[in-house]
A and B are shown apart, each in its own frame.
Chain A
Amino acid sequence: MKPRFIAIMQKEFIHIWRDPRSLTIIILLPLVMIFLYGYAITFDIKEIKIGILDQDRSPTSREMVRQLTKSGYFVVTADLHDRSEIEPAFLGRKIVAAVIIPDNFSRDLNTSFRIPVQLLVDGSNSNLATVTINYIKTFFLTYSLQINARLLNAPIDMQPRVWYNPDLKSANFIAPGLVAVIMMLICALLTSATIARERETGTMEQILVSPIRSAEIIVGKTFPYIFLAIIDAIAIVVFAWVVFKVPFRGHPLLFLFFAVVYVYTCLSLGIFISARVKTQQVALMAAQLVTTLPSLLLSGFIFPIVSMPKVLQLISYIVPAKYFLVIIRSVMLKGVGMAALWQPTLFLLVFGTLLLFISVKRFKTNLEG
């Protein structure tokens, strides 16, 4: 006798292959996201537009501005002559920040200890504003030290060095996150939708009058998605490595092991959802709410969890993607092994098993109802 779950599996592959929406999520979405996040939405700061109001107009002040722009982080897009020109430049989006260098800047530089240099920043993009302030602050700190070093000996010489991602490249940060999000989409969103669809069209009933067991149905229906999710994960990592030179320092087999653990958790979540909904529409909406959004927003994929409000931080503790992100970033960028990662791994396993446990009984009766 041919195993019965094979029939379900084959049929499921055909569904995916003929459904533009599934194909979009499995093939197109990872590609689009990796290019978007990799190229377009870079979180690295480059060529921030600034305006300079140089009231000193001395060689020293001009030299300082040259040093400021030398880094490539800033480009002077407005040479301002009067304070009244600042606001129109902001409103016309010609500049993001304005630096005001006072009269007598060069004269006071060697004598005074306090020279007021003003920085005005457009706060409508708060992220950009914060980064700009930090960059310019750092610049002036360094600049002051250069000047001051001649006057007194600075006792501390701080030498920052960034480990694991020395260039602070966004792609290194984003690629692992994409793996987490895409796998969640395929395993939780697509599976819950496909189970709901069978119920909606009545085909589930037709399957249930056959001698096939619930376990065979679940294995047959989920296997294609497990398979594709892991293929996608590997593809994203390889792609990030080839195109964006994102390093892969861990062991590939270890990566595969963690991917399987995460798939298990995602699938449990998908089954948990489908045990509670009756139509495809509701399944998709529920899955968006419980899987996609938290994975994007509350996992630390883009926004650091530590800077979130307390409530959201608490919620993030039950977002599986958060744990997987810790794991996969460590494996890819740091190359650490199992020993350092048992905690998040344990969470994913326990969380998945718990969900599966409370869903299976309900799932079965809901299949029938």
Chain B
Amino acid sequence: MNNPVQIPYSVQVEELTRCFGSFVAVDHITFNVADGEIFGFLGANGAGKTTTIKMLCGLLLPTSGKGFVEGFNIYTQSDQIKQNIGYMSQKFSLYEDLLVRENLEFYGGIYGLDNHTLRQTIETSVMATGLREHLEKLTRDIPVGWKQRLALTCAILHKPKILFLDEPTGGVDPISRHQFWSLIYELAEKGTTVFVTTHYMEEAEYCNRLSIMHNGRIMDIGAPQTLKEKYKQSTIEDVFIQLVKK
């Protein structure tokens, strides 16, 4: 039961639906995310992006439909899923009264990393992200761009196969956003699948493939370039507006 079904996809979703009372937040969506892909979920606030991510991360049970993450069933195998995913939300979810180092140690600790592995992993990740000089500072005292980088580092200490990012760059300046995306590319190059939701149009352009969501439904899926050609628009923003207006 616990062996993953052999498939080339990181995420497989079929007719996935979630209702809150009579409100249908996610309405029969179907898509696949390939291993190592950067997959974007573009949509306005309330389009159902966060609900979808929560179902995939095991935070919320679907009302109906099928879903697999890394081959594990989202209904029955959320424990195995949780071991294999990383998650970072717009809120950054850091402890402001903890030192940067203490935040890293904590998030490594809840994945059961032992002290030795934890120290090594922290060492290599702070080198890569440049967090080293901030290690002994209180998290509330570092700039928001650094907080974002710290949140990302915390989310990948346990080396997840797939990383879920829920509007990860909200409230962050363009330069930090750009730096953040270069970190995302590095991760993807090393083979991590990245599933990212956003409502920033220029950010959508960074993705390998994009799913445009509106009112709980997927309007279309494709590479940014393909979508632009298909709808004869010069930017993703125009594609989005055209799809939403329909």
Contact = CB atoms under 8 A, between A and B. Distances in A.
A212 to B, nearest CB: 5
Nearest to A220: B110
Given A2-B115, A14-B102, A209-B58, A203 B95 contact: yes
Identify the interface centre among B57, B85, B109: most chain A CB within 10 Å of its CB: B109
Bin the interface of chain B by size.
20 to 34
A327 B115 CA distance: 44
Contacts, number: 78
Contacts of B58: 209
Contacts of B112: 1-4, 211
B114 A1 contact: yes
Contact of B59 (A8, A208, A212): A208
B97 A4 contact: no
A333 interface: no
Interface residues of A, number: 25
Nearest to B99: A14
Contact of A7 (B83, B106, B154): B106
B59 A209 contact: yes
A166 interface: no
Contacts of A19: 97
B89 interface: yes
B14 interface: no
Interface string A1-21: 111101110110011001100
Given A1-B114, A15-B97, A18-B97, A10 B109 contact: yes
A4 B105 CA distance: 11
Given A209-B57, A211-B79, A202 B93 contact: yes
A206 to B, nearest CB: 4
6 nearest A-B residue pairs (beta carbon): A7-B109, A202-B91, A206-B93, A209-B87, A1-B112, A211-B82
Given A8-B110, A14-B98, A201-B93, 4 more contacts: A202-B92, A205-B91, A206-B87, A206-B107
14 contacts: A7-B105, A7-B110, A8-B106, A10-B106, A10-B109, A11-B95, A11-B102, A15-B98, A19-B97, A205-B89, A208-B59, A210-B111, A211-B79, A368-B60
